[in-house]
Amino acid sequence: MLNMGRIINIGKIYSIQDLNTPSQKLHSNYRDRVKIVVIDDEDFIYFDDLRRSGFNITQYHDIEDLQTLDAFHVIICDIKGIGRHFNSRAEGAFIIRELKKKHPYKVFAAYTGSTHRIDINEYLLGVHIIKKDIDMDDWCNEIDSLVRKAVSPQYVWTAIREILLNENVSTLSIARLEHKYVDIILNKNGDFTDLLTDKKIKISDNVKDIITTLISNIALGFLFK
């Protein structure tokens, strides 16, 4: 069991739960600031309506490479008829899986018809599923939920923590980094410059580079602008 009292010599020891207080909940409208993309081989019927409702949304009918979607925070992908250039039987589900490997901090959703293919379940683990036949009101609610997730500090920390665990970083170093992460959000206006400077946090340079890239690209930055 960790001796949390040894992590920081003075002051409060923060954990991600400290961001759950009412004063830290999101109240602002981030519709126009979070970049959303829909990939659908047909014209997305609510595209214009969603833009008029304030969403910063773009549509592609398909993509030729994954880099096309690098700039987006929320990625919503149809399953059938997508990913023809990748020659995968999983179609759009393959695109989502490969993007999740590259960008674990982005928010993903798949939308499909009423018949769900069992053979692609493994491609969509942890991916939000949206039914294709929902109306405009439901689409607004669904995308608002995805946008809130994209700017959630808790969601971003979950992505960072998963990276650290996969790289076998010690629980003590993870706890130290969690404290710094929360402290920066609560007390330093989201300035992550010093997040990885503590020499007591034992993380390889490769992992530091991954986290630095993640922090520089996440939609979390909108919370402090």
Per-residue pLDDT of the chain (225 residues; tens, 9 = 90+): 445 444 444 568 999 999 886 545 544 578 888 999 999 999 999 999 999 999 999 999 999 999 999 999 999 999 999 999 999 999 999 999 999 988 888 999 998 875 567 788 889 988 999 998 899 999 999 999 999 888 888 888 988 898 899 889 999 999 999 999 999 988 988 888 889 998 888 888 988 888 887 777 666 666 665
Residue 59's Cα: distance from chain center in Å? 19
Task: List the domain boundaries for the chain.
Answer: 35-150, 153-224
pLDDT at 6: 47
CA distances from 155 to 19, 36, 98, 162 (A): 11, 17, 20, 11
Radius of gyration, alpha carbons of the chain: 19
Please report where in the chains the tokens 């808790």 appear, as a residue.
154
pLDDT at 217: 64
pLDDT at 159: 85
Closest CA to 136 of 47, 67, 34: 47
Sheet with 128-131, edge to edge strand ranges: 56-60, 35-39, 74-78, 107-112, 128-131
Identify whether the C-beta of residue 88 lies closer than 8 Å to the C-beta of residue 98: no
Identify whether the C-beta of residue 211 lies closer than 8 Å to the C-beta of residue 163: yes
Dihedral sign for Cα atoms in the order 83, 88, 93, 99: negative
Identify whether the C-beta of residue 111 lies closer than 8 Å to the C-beta of residue 132: yes
Closest CA to 150 of 54, 72, 53, 47: 72
pLDDT at 141: 96
Closest CA to 97 of 182, 106, 181: 106
pLDDT at 7: 45
pLDDT at 3: 52
Q: Provide CATH code, domain 35-150.
A: 3.40.50.2300
CA dihedral of residues 216, 158, 167, 212 (deg, nearest 10): 10
pLDDT at 121: 87
Q: What are phi and psi of 85, to 5 degrees?
A: -75, -10
pLDDT at 48: 97
End-to-end CA gap in the chain: 38
- Give the whole-angstrom CA distance, residue 17 versus residue 81: 41
User: Which tokens go with 199?
Assistant: 């020499």
